[in-house]
Amino acid sequence: MMLMVLEPPVQYDHPYNGHVIEQHLSSLQLVFLCHGFTSACSWVTKAGVCHIVISDTEKDSRVIALVRRHETGHCNGWPGHHPNGRWFDVKSGQETSPPKTARLNFRLF
C-alpha cells in the first residue's frame, strides 16, 4: 500500500522565518488544540511563533518529516483548504500524482 501526504506549493515550502515550537502530543490533546480529530495542526501566534503539534503515535521519521513540512507550510501562510498542494509518496520521498482511488492511504494533516 502506498502512503501519501499533501505538501505545500513551492511558495510556502521553505523554513519558517521565526521561532518554531514543535510538540508531539496525545490524540486527546490534539482534539483540543486542533479543534477536532486530526494527526497534526499548526498555528502562528500574534508574537510570530509557529506552533506545530504532531500525534505522539506517529513513529515513522519519514512521515514526521513530511508532516512537519506540511505544517510549516501553514505557518508560512498556506491556507487550510490546501490550494495547489503537491502529493508526496512517503516511501520514496518523491512528488507523485494525486491519489486516484480510496484504497490508497493518504493524509492531508
pLDDT digits (tens, 9 = 90+) for 61-75: 988 999 999 999 999
- Contact assessment for residue 57 and residue 29, using Cβ atoms and an 8 Å cutoff: no
Q: How confident is the model at residue 90 (pLDDT cuts 50, 70, 90)?
A: confident
Stretch 54-62: mean pLDDT, rounded? 94
How far is Cα 68 from Cα 92, in angstroms, rounded to an integer? 17
Q: How many CB atoms lie within 10 A of CB 100?
A: 7
The domains of the chain are located at 3-107
How many whole angstroms separate alpha carbon 41 and alpha carbon 24? 11
